[in-house]
Structure 1
Amino acid sequence: MKLTVFGATGGIGQEIVRQALASGHEVTAVVRDPARLTVTGAGLTVRRADLTDPEALRGAVAGRDAVLSGLGARSRADAGVAARLTRSVLTAMEAEMTRRILVVSAAPLGPTPEGQPLVDRATLAVINAVLKDIYADLRVMESELAASGTDWTAVRPPRLTDKPGTGQYRTVVGGTPLRGRFLARADVAHAMLAMIDDPATLKQGVGVAH
């Protein structure tokens, strides 16, 4: 497949690029600073672009089978970036009639699973309070996706780690895995690539966790 990856210099983005290349896909990595992208390989095109300008992104998404995005705030000070930049991507995709997009969101935006332990509920309440600006940004981003004409999927992992990927994780379409507390960034990337051709994930939030 021909894939475009936004946020390709981030932890999940680089994993998406690495795994996609290893699977034989053609990958266009859209970045602001090419020096920060450490992944190389046959089939990779690195494209520098202003992510706030939809016109500058049209060439990167034209004729793509899917767009995968790891765009998001790195800290509370960056809150707002996920919705703003995703809006640019969606505008470019709609102009080029590119339909499939998968983005990284977060587990707290999904429903609380039945039977969730009290300790997990309490922890989630604290996390929601501390990171409320970031989650508000992601909620706007998901609203933008839902209002778009794209075939979108919002992948909602819990706390991320840099452990090696295992390929062993649980997914719940429209829900949240019970006691899903951690997930390696490499497994988030694996899950996103696996969902590209899964019709059950279209226009859905998908919880994913170990």
Structure 2
Amino acid sequence: MSSRIVVFGAGGRAGRRAVAEAVARGHQVTAVVRDPDKYGDLGAGVSVVAGDVTRADSVAEVAAEHDAAISAAGRLDMPSDEFYVSAAHALLDGLARAGVGRLVLIGIGSTLETAPGVAVHDAPGFPEEARAFSLGHTAELDVLRAAETDIDWLVVAPPPVMLDDKAPRTGRYRTGGEQVMADGAPSFSYADLAVALIDEIETPKHHRSLTAVAG
């Protein structure tokens, strides 16, 4: 069954893969970017629109008449915690106003736990700049967990490694909980991350949680 999916941050590597996967499965996709003129290559049949994921009014406008949303958005020109907290609030508010009930967000593997209560970014010697970026994702998750909302949200976190942008889609992945899935394949691709994202829209299996995915 075809759904109408709005993808925030559609111009990045993860966002592009999510758009392509959704289109390949026959869904109607709206790709939200800051400057549509730069992203005419997102594919035939994709509606590319301007939007700001940190503004609830903008989210509500571009998400109107959609069934589900994906957030692959990220910005490096402002503090990570400021961006992700603002985006979480705006998404919950704007999507609720637009009547969108499902939100799948792309997390980051460094927020996953290596031991109870100990995240990857808590390891001694973890680069401070990378830790600050990771803590922004943690702050986003805190907002989602604390929210009184009817939106069925999910944060999908790939392994804490550089994802492969060249590897072909296999369609295979595993899901876990909030811990690093250390026994899996040494790498994971953006293409298979996209498969997991669209699967969770077509057939939701995880709800209001941080869920690890790996090869």
Question: TM-score band, normalised by the shorter chain?
Answer: 0.7 to 0.9
Alignment correspondent of 1:8:
10
Alignment correspondent of 1:118:
none
Alignment correspondent of 2:43:
40
Alignment correspondent of 1:161:
164
CA contact (8 A) 1:108 1:128 kept: no
Alignment correspondent of 2:180:
176
What stretches of structure 2 of length at least 5 have no aligned partner? Answer: none
Q: 1:203 to 1:33 in 2, by over 3 A?
A: same
> Share of identical aligned residues, percent?
27
CA contact (8 A) 1:161 1:184 kept: yes
- 1:174 Cα offset (Å): 4.2
Q: Secondary structure at the match of 2:113?
A: coil
Q: 1:196 to 1:124 in 2, by over 3 A?
A: farther
- 1:94 Cα offset (Å): 1.9
Alignment of 1:1-210 (within 5 A): 1-37=3-39, 38-42=41-45, 44-74=46-76, 78-80=79-81, 81-112=83-114, 125-127=124-126, 129-148=128-147, 149=149, 150-158=151-159, 159=161, 160-164=163-167, 165-180=169-184, 181-210=186-215
Which deviates further from its counterpart, 146-155 or 18-27? Answer: 146-155
CA contact (8 A) 1:173 1:201 kept: no
CA contact (8 A) 2:111 2:135 kept: no
Q: Which has the higher helix share?
A: 1
Residue correspondences, number: 202
Q: 1:104 to 1:110 in 2, by over 3 A?
A: same
Which deviates further from its counterpart, 175-184 or 49-58? Answer: 175-184
Q: Secondary structure at the match of 2:17?
A: helix
CA RMSD, aligned part only?
2.5
* TM-score, normalization by structure 1: 0.84
What stretches of structure 1 of length at least 5 have no aligned partner? Answer: 115-120
- 1:127 Cα offset (Å): 3.9
* TM-score, normalization by structure 2: 0.82
